[in-house]
């Protein structure tokens, strides 16, 4: 990566965003004590996006020499002019700004060597096999991503950021009468590996819990299919905020026909529900994926999506802000150097309430406590689905047997109206990757939520 981006401003002709970016990835996979993958991937390059008569041209290259950068700028210009030449529109408002920011989340500790990282993983693996020798299989996957960006726009907005994330996935497998069963736990969050993982012993408590949950799954029963009362743990509330509501309120999806478009300023949820896409700080703490200036050069601000049950606003980039005649919110984000910025969520979170998790479970006569989530999907109708790899029956306010892996679904704007209790705690999850043409790391947060939802099963 190079850092002299200002040198190229004199080559800007149209409205221009010039970005240098490097994504540095480390991936290590340990399967049953054997390091089956030990990979490092580094991708850097330059991209330029130019606007002309309500059309955009984009170009990128992995080469970062002077001549290539000039060629990329020229090609982006030419592409914008090719489309602009066919357009009868005027230029859009580019919301000129000259924000400047430099935020690099670099560790202050000495960097680990690859051998030390592998030793860390092996220590955890040794703990697992020594403590739980009867497991059928186990795997530990470590993935760290350092995303460094330098942005310059024709109006003078400038950003230099480095946002790191380090995640470790631990999966334990065993056998039940009905075949193999598994349970996983995600560790980690924002920061380089030295800041996130400093002592393997700190992971043991949750590994023990993961094993206990796995054993619970040996005798798991099918959930009874249909609508039922559930308490969703905070792990699920985050994905609910992201999948069920978040996507429907991205302005490009609203323009694509999302049901949220017809519900602005209307009651879409219980008045207990407030949902915000936070830019960089939430409730007095820095969020998992802080965004200070987005990839269009707009200062990022929080987007309050639902306030006390009322749908208040959408997430915008410059293009959609022009259409909706509002200010952009700083949600335009790109994953790789060769990606164009799209409207993406940042840190979507349901605000905590006043109940306690134990009171919430105690208040359910017959239902389920849903503990963990896997992949989820959204829809323009606000009908969402996500996998539930771990949950328990609730009978007369007490936890019962584990349930087999299942899926839950619902129409978000209906489900959120059934929310009757929200817990007073908050958990952030920063292991999420959201897919929408490109991938992007996202933060998801929330408290536990009691509501009615549709659950899959054979019982």
Partner 1 sequence: MKNLLRDKDVTKYCVDTLKKLGADKSQVNYTHLIKKEMCVEGDKVSLLRTIHTDEVYLKAIKNNKEASLKINKINKTNLEEACKNVLALASSSPADLHKDIAAQDEARSFSHGPKEPNFDQMYLKLMNFKQVALRKYPKIILRDVILFHKYSKQFIQNSNGVDFEAGNGSYEMFTMFTAKDGKNTSSFNYDAITRMNLDGDFISWGQIDELLRQTQLQTVLRPVPENFVADVILTPLCLLDMLMYLGNELKDGKHITNTSLMKGKLNQLVLSKKFTLKALAVGDEFAEKCFVTPDGFRADNLTVFEKGVLKSNLLSQYGANKTSQGRAKNYGVNFLVESGEKSLGDMIKGIKKGILLQRFSGGMPAANGDFSGVAKNSFYIDNGEVSYPVNETMITGNIIDMFKNIENISSDFVNYGHSIMPWIQSSGLHISGK
CB of 405 to partner 1, least distance (A): 4
Q: How many CA atoms lie within 13 A of 388 on its CB side?
A: 32
Number of residues interacting with partner 1: please give it, by CB under 8 A.
89
Question: Could you say whether residue 146 binds partner 1 (CB under 8 A)?
Answer: no
Q: According to CB under 8 A, which one of 73, 124, 147, 181 is a site residue for partner 1? A: 181
- Considering the complex, state which of residue 140 and residue 287 has its C-beta at the smaller distance from partner 1: 140
The two tokens of residue 313 are 């606003």
The correct pick among 16, 79, 192, 348 for binding partner 1 (CB under 8 A) is 79
C-beta of 120: minimal distance to partner 1 in Å?
Answer: 12
Two structure tokens written together for 318: 């410059």
Instruction: Answer for the pair 1, 107: CB distance below 8 angstroms, yes or no.
Output: no
Stretch that binds partner 1, among 157-165, 344-352, 400-408, 425-433 (CB under 8 A): 400-408
* Shortest spacing between CB 313 and partner 1, in angstroms: 19
Nearer to partner 1, 123 or 407 (CB): 407
Binding flag, residue 374, partner 1 (CB under 8 A)? yes
| Nearer CB in complex with partner 1: 177/205 | 177
Residue 70 near residue 48 (C-beta atoms within 8 A) = no
* Shorter beta-carbon distance to partner 1: residue 83 or 399: 83
Closer to partner 1 by CB, 7 or 40: give it.
40
Please report the sign of the dihedral spanned by the C-alpha atoms of residue 155, residue 156, residue 157, residue 158: positive
Task: Tell me if 49 sits within 8 A of 58, measured CB to CB.
Answer: yes
Q: In the complex with partner 1, which residue's Cβ is closer, 299 or 344?
A: 344
Q: Tell whether residue 136 is a contact of partner 1 (CB under 8 A).
A: yes
Which residues in the 258-297 window bind partner 1 by CB under 8 A? Answer: 258-259, 262
437 interacts with partner 1 by CB under 8 A = yes
CB contact at 8 A, 346 and 441: no
Residue 229 touching partner 1 (CB under 8 A): no
Please say whether the beta carbons of 24 and 163 come within 8 A.
Answer: no
195 binds partner 1 (CB under 8 A): no
118 binds partner 1 (CB under 8 A): yes
Q: Does 435 bind partner 1 (CB under 8 A)?
A: no
234 binds partner 1 (CB under 8 A): no
* Binding-site member from 4, 6, 7, 62 for partner 1 (CB under 8 A): 62
Q: Does 412 engage in binding with partner 1 (CB under 8 A)?
A: no
Taking a C-beta distance cutoff of 8 angstroms, is the pair 120, 194 a contact? no
Q: Of these, 185, 322, 380, 418, which contacts partner 1 (CB under 8 A)?
A: 380
Rounded Cα gap, residues 333 and 291, in angstroms? 9
Q: How far apart are CA 414 and CA 288, in angstroms?
A: 29
* Nearest distance, CB of residue 223 and partner 1, angstroms: 9
Minimum Å gap between C-beta 398 and partner 1 is 25
Q: Is 302 among the residues that bind partner 1 (CB under 8 A)?
A: no
In this chain, which of 110, 115, 134, 284 binds partner 1, going by CB under 8 A? Answer: 115
CA distance linking residue 48 with residue 111, whole number of Å: 33
Of 338, 368, 392, 428, the one binding partner 1 (CB under 8 A) is 338
Torsion of CA 357, 363, 365, 367, to 10 degrees: -30
Query: By CB under 8 A, is residue 257 in contact with partner 1?
Result: yes
Among 134, 179, 199, 396, binds partner 1 (CB under 8 A): 179
Using the rule CB under 8 A, which residue among 158, 386, 392, 413 binds partner 1? 386
Nearer to partner 1, 168 or 279 (CB): 168
Q: Which stretch binds partner 1 (CB under 8 A): 33-41, 190-198, 325-333, 362-370?
A: 33-41
């Amino acid at each position: 990566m190079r850092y002299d981006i200002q040198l190229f401003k004199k080559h800007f002709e149209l409205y221009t965003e010039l970005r240098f970016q490097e994504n540095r990835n480390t991936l290590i996979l340990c399967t049953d004590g054997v390091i089956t993958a030990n990979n490092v991937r580094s991708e850097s390059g330059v991209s330029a996006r130019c606007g002309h008569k309500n059309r955009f041209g984009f170009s990128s290259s992995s080469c970062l020499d002077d001549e290539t950068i000039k060629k990329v700028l020229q090609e982006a210009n030419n592409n914008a002019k090719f489309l602009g030449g066919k357009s009868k529109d005027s230029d859009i408002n580019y919301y000129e700004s000259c924000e400047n920011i430099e935020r690099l989340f670099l560790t202050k500790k000495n960097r680990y060597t690859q051998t030390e990282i592998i030793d860390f993983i092996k220590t955890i693996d040794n703990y697992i096999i020594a403590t739980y020798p009867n497991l059928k299989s186990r795997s530990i996957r470590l993935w760290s991503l350092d995303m460094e960006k330098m942005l310059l726009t024709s109006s003078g907005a400038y950003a230099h950021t480095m946002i790191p994330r380090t995640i470790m996935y631990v999966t334990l497998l065993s056998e039940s009468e009905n075949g193999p069963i598994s349970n996983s736990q995600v560790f980690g969050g924002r920061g380089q590996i030295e800041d996130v993982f400093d002592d393997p012993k700190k992971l043991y408590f949750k590994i023990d819990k993961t094993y206990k949950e796995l054993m619970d799954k040996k005798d798991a029963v099918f959930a009874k299919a249909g609508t039922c009362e559930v308490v969703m743990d905070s792990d699920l509330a985050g994905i609910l905020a992201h999948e069920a509501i978040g996507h429907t309120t991205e302005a490009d999806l609203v323009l694509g026909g999302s049901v949220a478009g017809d519900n602005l300023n209307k009651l879409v949820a219980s008045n207990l529900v407030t949902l915000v896409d936070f830019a960089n700080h939430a409730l007095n703490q820095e969020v998992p994926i802080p965004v200070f200036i987005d990839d269009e050069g707009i200062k990022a601000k929080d987007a309050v999506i639902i306030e006390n049950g009322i749908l208040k606003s959408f997430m915008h980039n410059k293009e959609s802000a022009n259409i909706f005649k509002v200010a952009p919110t700083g949600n335009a984000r790109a994953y790789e150097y060769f990606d164009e910025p799209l409207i993406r969520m940042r840190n979507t979170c349901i605000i905590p309430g006043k109940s306690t998790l134990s009171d919430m479970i105690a208040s359910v006569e017959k239902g389920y406590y849903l503990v963990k989530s896997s992949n989820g999907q959204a829809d323009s109708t606000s009908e969402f689905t996500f996998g539930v790899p771990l949950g328990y029956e609730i009978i007369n306010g007490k936890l019962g047997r584990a349930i087999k892996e299942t899926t839950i679904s619902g129409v978000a704007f209906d489900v959120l109206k059934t929310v009757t209790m929200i817990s007073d705690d908050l958990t952030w999850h920063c292991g999420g990757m959201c897919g929408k043409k490109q991938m992007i790391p996202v933060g998801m947060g929330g408290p536990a939520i009691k509501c009615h939802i549709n659950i899959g099963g054979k019982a």
